[in-house]
Amino acid sequence: MNQTTPDNSSQAAINFTETAPTEVIQQIFSWIHPSQNVSLKLLNRRVHQCLSSISFATINLFRFIPSGNSSVQDASLVIGSMPLDEFDRGLFMWPEEYQYALVAVKYKYRARMIWETKKLRGRLTPALGEMKNAETLGLGQNQLTGQIPRELGQLQNLQYLNLSRNFLSGEIPSELGQLSNLWYLALNGCSLEGSIPKELGNLSKLETLYLGGNELSGRIPAELGQLSNLTSLHLNSNKLRGFIPPEFGQLTKLKEFYLQLNKLEGGLPSELGGLSACLYFNVTGNLLSGPIPPEIERLNLLQFFQKGNDLDVPVEQAIRMINHVRQCDLTNPYLS
């Protein structure tokens, strides 16, 4: 019976990797392209041990990535014109030690990373938390999976964070509330679960908050009413319950107020009359009841949508609002 056996050279190579010093194995394999080393780790247990460290991955990457590459291409990345190379994609698809090494070798000093709609695959890596100079991190509309890394809360210079429309899971980490310079946060369309962290109320510079199109539940934290610079609030299409916080009336710069398609109950707080800059007001498809306070009626709105609630609107008030608001949907109110 014929048996398939390794030839002498292959067997010698295997024996070598089992007996040679770790430093020798690492030096030899460091000259092999990282994408190949990812699979060569499976050669045997010894090779796996020698190649599974951030220090080896760093040496390996330095062989193939030009020195100083970590600070270039920022301008091109802002407009998304630079095509991604295999290292860029490896940041999400390669083993974790290579992800951390890639940040150290290529991205550590990057201020901007705009890779939206690039068809990126793989897991959202916690290694991004090592990009200490990052001001702009745009990874929206890709095919990234996993949870939002808590390590992103370490990026104290971050101003723009867009992870929208990916295949993420889990909860919104409370550590994002540490991003004191953040003005734009988009986590919409990601199937995120759990409650909205009250710590997001600490983002005093935040202007845009997109959390719509997830599976968020629980009550809306009153702390969001502290976001005095907020102009856009999108909490729509979730499973939020409880009352609309009256503290939202403090958002005097808010222009977009979108709470539609949740399970919110109770009445519209009269404090919402403090939304003096509001143009778009949508609470459609909730479980709201009671009157529409006159304070809200007097806002200079372009849109007011409330279809699907049980709000009680006197005929006189309905006529005033229809005449006052450019687009006013009072479908299914209990007109009295």
* Confidence at 20, pLDDT banded by 50, 70, 90: confident
Q: How far is the C-alpha of 135 from the C-alpha of 215, rounded, in Å? A: 28
Residues of the chain with CATH 3.80.10.10: 73-335
The dihedral through the CA atoms of 292, 332, 225, 298 has a sign that is: negative
Q: Which residues, in sequence order, are CB contacts of 271 under 8 Å at separation 6+?
A: 246, 247, 248, 249, 250, 295
User: Nearest-5° angle of CA 65, CA 68, CA 72?
Assistant: 95
Residue 177 C-beta-side C-alpha neighbours within 13 Å: 16
Residues 61/34, Cβ–Cβ less than 8 Å: yes
Strand ranges across the sheet with 303-305: 112-114, 136-138, 160-162, 184-186, 208-210, 232-234, 256-258, 280-282, 303-305, 327-329
Residues 158/183, Cβ–Cβ less than 8 Å: no
Residue 230: pLDDT over 70: yes
* Confidence at 335, pLDDT banded by 50, 70, 90: very low
Claim: this prediction has a pTM higher than 0.75: yes
Q: Mean pLDDT, to the nearest integer, of 151-167?
A: 98
Strand ranges across the sheet with 263-266: 217-219, 239-242, 263-266, 287-291, 310-313, 334-335
Token code pair at residue 231: 């102009």
What letter represents residue 266's amino acid?
A: G
For residue 300, the model assigns a pLDDT of 94
The dihedral through the CA atoms of 249, 253, 256, 261 has a sign that is: negative
Residue 126: pLDDT over 60: yes
Q: How far is the C-alpha of 308 from the C-alpha of 332, rounded, in Å? A: 6
pLDDT, tens digit, for every residue of 233-277?
999 999 999 999 999 999 999 999 999 999 999 999 999 999 999
Coil, helix or strand at residue 184: strand
* Confidence at 203, pLDDT banded by 50, 70, 90: very high
Q: What is the architecture of the domain spanning 73-335?
A: Alpha-Beta Horseshoe (3.80)
